[in-house]
Each structure stands twice: as structure tokens, then as C-alpha cells.
Amino acid sequence: MIIARLVGLCLRRRITRERLDRALKKLDFPGRARPASRGGNTVRVSCVQRRLRLVKSPEQYVDMLFSFAQQAYGQGSRLLVFPEYNFFDLFGLVPGFSLLDRFFRRTAGGSKASGGGKDPVAALMANIFNEIAAAVESCCEIIISRLALGFGLYIYSGSYLTKEGGRLYNAGSLFGPDGGKIGTQKKIHLTDFEAALGLCPHCGMEVYRLPIGSVAFPICMDATYFETFRVARDKGADVVILPIANMEEYDLWKSLRGIWTRVQETYTYGLKSSLNGWIAGMHFTGKAGVFAPLELTPGKDGVIALADHWEGDCLVTADINFSELEEARKNAEYYGDSNPDFERYYIKRAYTGL
Amino acid sequence: MRRRAEKGSRARMKVGAVEWLEHELTGIGSAGKLLELIRSRLLKAEEAGIGMIVLPAFTGCLFQLLESGRNNLGGLTGAAEARGYLEKVSRLSEGLRMTICPGSYFDADSQGTFHQSCLITDGRLLHTQRQLYLSRWERTLGLSRGAEARVLETDGWRVGIVMPTDAFYPQVSRMLAMNGVGLVLAPSGITGPQNETLQLCGMWRETQLNQFFAAESCYNGRAGDRPLWGESRIHAPLGMTEGGDGFLARSRGSEGLISAVLNMQGREEAITDFNVLRRLNAEFYRRAGLFGGEGE
């Protein structure tokens, strides 16, 4: 508990509003903020894949996020998507974190299993997450808001921690080109490890109708469940943003269980951003990508663009087109049917007892 | 969570999936010849010790077309009579020590024409399943939809049938999984441009989404006017398969019968570390009005 409090105190002291403002003021934003529209119903989007780096200063963290926004702007994107747990780098601000990291690495093996309530790593991380949540949330929102305004982009913040009514959530927010927050989505389906950390699952989802399309932004594990994307589509989503930080070695077949299949079921575009690298004995891997129904992709494989490797930094950029999406929905062989007699009692018959 | 335990499960069972290869169906000119083909596969399966077998979708439709002299599936709607095909398969099943899913057929009654399948063992009809969702071309035929995903307990296994189009509607497999199904039989035949990736979006995806076993049996060739394709496969959760790819067996377009031994205990162990159904969020589904809301 003392360690957690010290970590919290340290982050709060080093990440102040004033310091972030000073760092943001030094950035070289373009004179003309908004990237050119692609015309018609086409929108260019960029998904970040990045390696986790423990930063030595808040300025270094700001610069790192800025460089991705600058690239996306330079490539003409209107939407930029950062990954899940986009704040992990900030642990580098904690003096002596390398010692803590070593402790985590030594004991993390057992922490990946479920039932980590008694696990020392899970217990410590739970306390740390609670202590740092407010500082992390504020830091991410200040930076992303300014980047969105400075480049005239829609930017999904990546996920961070947020506390509400004493409950801790994994959440991310979308900011508009005016720097304003459009909305926040908390994670709906947790991993066993997150549950062991005391994170809470959220029970709601909003879809936002924007000039760049109707957008929902669930988080990582949410894509393992068809129900998430079904709800998003029923609420009108054409684009589903999905930040990930997969705590496992990369495996193609495992990766196919997520957003790629969900996009095929729901005839939406899927934008995946990914965090990779090591922290606290945990290894994160994953490829950023832009996905679409098979018939809308050049190789008929559901992939518009994909990172070459599951580790390292890159920006995956692609165009998505809503007229083509609508056309594909109309012509789809295995999509779009409904069965009111079967669906009427679906929730009760399928999920009662959970 | 409720996911019903499979009481008294026979821990292991060998399942088989037939594949119709295009050249086998090309020359078939009569229902009798088709039955001969089915019989030869069933005998081969019995020899291999298979306890449960699935035939490709539309096999019964082909029988119905050959018997009626019609040459398009649309001609069967409104007039399809399943009894003839089921009687013949029932007769073939007599004395065989296996449960047979004889593929799919059209069945008309006062409520409409349904795309349907069933399970037969030793001359007895055990179970039927109507297709719940229709593909675009099935909608143009005017087919009707069933209303429930049914579960059969046989030989200690809880079994369900996922019809060809239902494999692309994840709510069907989820319903079966939530009602304790450990093995799905999937008579299959995909229409449209041949694309292996599309097939992954069917039973492979459903298996990984629900972590049951599935035996998928595919039809290659024409059923009347409808060209169909697919590779027969036996699916399992990724962690149970040698290549980590979810396939226990594949026909690769060259085998008319594939089989695999399913190990229920192995499955339980394989999904311990990653149990998808453990983290379902029913409260979210209720609040979000999934499929229209609360239900009965």
C-alpha cells in the first residue's frame, strides 16, 4: 500500500497541468489545421502501433504522442487511434521504477492466471492503479485534446484509467478537431487479469454520429464477444475503433478471434491500434490494422492495411468508404437477415443465470 | 454462470465429417446412386470406429431433386417432402453403431418450406433442427425460418446442429453453447465466389467464440442450379489443436471422409486459461437491448 501511495504521489507531482501546458506550447503545430477531405464518402484513418517506452519526463511522453499525430496529419488522415493502456510509459516517471519492474518480472508468472486476488503482483498493481487513475486520466485528456485541436484531427486517446463512484475502469475517449471531448467508452468485457486487479466492467455503449462516420469505441477484449459489435451495429455504428494491448505472444490464429471476425459479422470497418513491449514482467504484442468485410478488401481477406510485425512502431493508414460499405451490406449473402421469433426471447434463453 | 455441465459425458468420441467432392456428384443421375454413395461413406465410417457422423448440407435436397425430376432448388419450395429421404437414410442406419446427421433437406408444412436437418440412429429419428436465418439467395426462394436452436443429449454428449447459413449468425452458436452444447454438427455448403477466408467466418469462428467442438461437412458441386463449395473440417478450441489453428482434421479438398477423436476432458483443460464464456456481460446485453430487449 505504501509503495502504491508513493507511486501515486510521484506521478501527481511530476505530471502537473502547468508542466503539460508548457510542453504542449512548445510543439510545432501546422498553420492549417484540418487535413484535406478525401471527398465523397471516403475517410482516411490512421492506427498507431507503438512500443511501450518508459519515459523520463512528461515532455518526452508528449513528444512521442505528438510525433504520431504529426505523421497522421502528414498522411492526410482525419482520425487517429491510439492503443489500449496508452499511459504505461508514464511509469518511467517513478524514481526507482526499475526496481519495482524487476520485482514484477520475478513474480509475474503466476499473476497472469485467473484468481489473482491473492497474487502479490495483482494486489500491488490494483493499489497502484487506484492511486494513479486521476493523474493518468487528466494527463491523457489534456494532451490528446491539444493534439486534436492543433492538427484538426479526430483522435481516440487510447485507453487509460478512470474512477467513477469509487469504481475503477479501463476507458478511452474520442476528441474532435476543436479539442472537445466527444465521448468516453469504458471497457465492457474484462480479461481475468483485469478482473483480478479490481477493474469493473461497464454496461453501456454509445455510438457517435460524426462527419467521419458513426463511431463506437469498445476496448480490446470486447472484440472477443460478438455481442459488443452487434450492439454497436444496431446503434448505427459503421466504424468500430478497437485499441488493444494483448498480454501474450503474437499468434495469427488468436488474433483472428477478435476484431477481424467481428467486422465480418457486422459489416463495419474495424480500426485496431496496438501497444507492444514489456512492462512489469508482462509482454504485449499485436499488429495494428484496418479491417473491412471481405469483399471490400483487395485480397478478399478482410484486411485493408496491416502492420508488418507485431512489435515496434508504425502508423497504419488506409481509406475507408461508406458508400462501398452500404453497397456491400445490400449485396451480402450471409448478412442482414433477422428472425424475430428466435430473437424475441434471446436474452432470457441465452444469458439467464449469468 | 449457467453453462450446463455435460452430465455423465462419455469422455471421448470419434466424430466424422463427409465431404462430397465435385467429381463424385457430377455423374449422379438418380436418387438410388446417391444413396449408394452415402451408404459407402457410412460403411467406411463404421469401419473407422466413428460414433457420430455428419453429411454435407443439401445432400437431402439433391435426393429430393433427383427423385422429383426437378433441376432447381426453387422448384422444391412448397412441395418438398422430406419423408422419402429420411426413410431411406433411416434404413441405411439400421445396424450401424453411429448417430448420423444426414445433411440437409427442404421440408414443407402448413407454415412454409424449411431448410432442415436431423439426427438418426439405428433407424430412429432423434432430433430435428430448422435453419433459423436465411442467406440472400434462400430469401429469394421464399424459405421460412425455424424458431429455436434445439439441443439433444445423446451418448453423454450435448449436441446441436448449426445449419449452413446459421454458421454466419453467431447468436445461434452462442445459444447452443449457453445451453451446454459440447459438440456442434454443421452440415455445410457455401455459395458465391470460392474464398477460404469466408469459410473461416463460419464454423471456425463459432468454435473459437464458444469453445465447443464442431464437425463441419461440406458439399462441393451443384445442388440443382446452385453451386456450392467448402472444405470439411473438424474444429476445436485453438489450445487443443496441434498447429494452434483450431483444426483437428481437414479434408483439404481431397478426402471424402475425415475424423477425429474428441476429448471432453482435454477441452475443459484447454479452456481453463482462456474461458471466453466466463466474462460475458449479460447486464450490458440487457441494458443495450440486444436483439430487442429483455425477452419473455
Cβ separation of A333 and B170 shorter than 8 Å?
no
Per the listing, cell 442406419 goes with B93
Amino acid symbol at A186 = K
**Does A264 reach chain B within 8 Å, measured CB to CB?**
yes
Please check the confidence at residue A190 and state whether its pLDDT lies above 50. Answer: yes
The neighbouring-strand residues paired with A302 are none
- Return the pLDDT at A35: 62
Its ipTM equals 0.94
Tens of pLDDT, residues A35-69: 666 667 999 999 999 999 999 999 999 999 999 99
Please check the confidence at residue B3 and state whether its pLDDT lies above 50. Answer: no
Chain A nearest C-alpha distance from B90 (Å)? 29
Using pLDDT thresholds of 50, 70 and 90, give the confidence band for residue B293: confident
Chain B nearest C-alpha distance from A122 (Å)? 16
% residues pLDDT > 70 (chain A): 94
Q: In terms of DSSP H, where are the helices of chain A?
A: 2-14, 17-25, 58-74, 97-111, 120-151, 192-196, 226-234, 252-255, 261-266, 322-331, 340-343, 346-351
Angle among Cα A303, B274, A251 to the nearest 5 degrees reads: 35
Cβ separation of B209 and A261 shorter than 8 Å?
yes
Amino acid symbol at A48 = V
Sign of CA dihedral A326, A331, A332, A334: positive
Using pLDDT thresholds of 50, 70 and 90, give the confidence band for residue A2: confident
Q: Most confidently modeled of A109-113, A144-148, B25-29?
A: A144-148
- Return the pLDDT at B294: 60
Residues 6 or more apart in contact with residue B15 via CB below 8 angstroms? B50, B51, B52, B53, B54, B183, B213, B215, B234, B259, B260, B262
Distance of alpha carbon B130 from alpha carbon B163, whole angstroms: 8
Name which of A129, A131, A189, A178 is nearest A152 in CA terms: A178
- Compute the average pLDDT of residues A67-79: 97
Rg (CA), chain A: 20
Distance of alpha carbon A53 from alpha carbon A90, whole angstroms: 8
**Does A227 reach chain B within 8 Å, measured CB to CB?**
yes
Please check the confidence at residue A15 and state whether its pLDDT lies above 60. Answer: yes
- Return the pLDDT at A107: 67
Residue A161: its H or E element: strand A154-164
Burial of B28 (0-12, 13-18, 19+ CB in 10 A): middle
Name which of A342, A348, A352 to mutate to probe chain B: the one with the most chain B Cβ atoms within 10 A of its Cβ.
Answer: A342
Please check the confidence at residue A341 and state whether its pLDDT lies above 90. Answer: yes
Least CB–CB distance from A188: residue in B198, B281, B295: B281
Please check the confidence at residue B296 and state whether its pLDDT lies above 50. Answer: no
Distance of alpha carbon B200 from alpha carbon B177, whole angstroms: 19
Per the listing, cell 499473476 goes with A111
Residues 6 or more apart in contact with residue A290 via CB below 8 angstroms? A45, A47, A269, A270, A271, A272, A303, A304, A305, A306, A316, A318, A320
**Does B236 reach chain A within 8 Å, measured CB to CB?**
no
Chain A nearest C-alpha distance from B63 (Å)? 25
- Return the pLDDT at A97: 84
Please check the confidence at residue B57 and state whether its pLDDT lies above 90. Answer: yes
Q: Which residue of B has its CA nearest to A348?
A: B295
Least CB–CB distance from A261: residue in B133, B147, B205: B205
Residue A315: its H or E element: strand A314-321
Comparing A108-122, B210-224, B227-241, B246-260, which segment has the lowest mean pLDDT? A108-122
Please check the confidence at residue A116 and state whether its pLDDT lies above 80. Answer: no
Name which of B139, B242, B277, B279 to mutate to probe chain A: the one with the most chain A Cβ atoms within 10 A of its Cβ.
Answer: B279
Distance of alpha carbon A48 from alpha carbon B64, whole angstroms: 55
- Compute the average pLDDT of residues A87-115: 73
- Return the pLDDT at A118: 63
pTM of the model: 0.94
Number of CB atoms found within 10 A of residue A347's CB: 22
Using pLDDT thresholds of 50, 70 and 90, give the confidence band for residue B4: very low
How far from the centroid of its chain's Cα atoms is residue B23's Cα? 22
Tens of pLDDT, residues B191-225: 988 999 999 999 999 999 999 999 999 999 999 99
Residues 6 or more apart in contact with residue B242 via CB below 8 angstroms? none
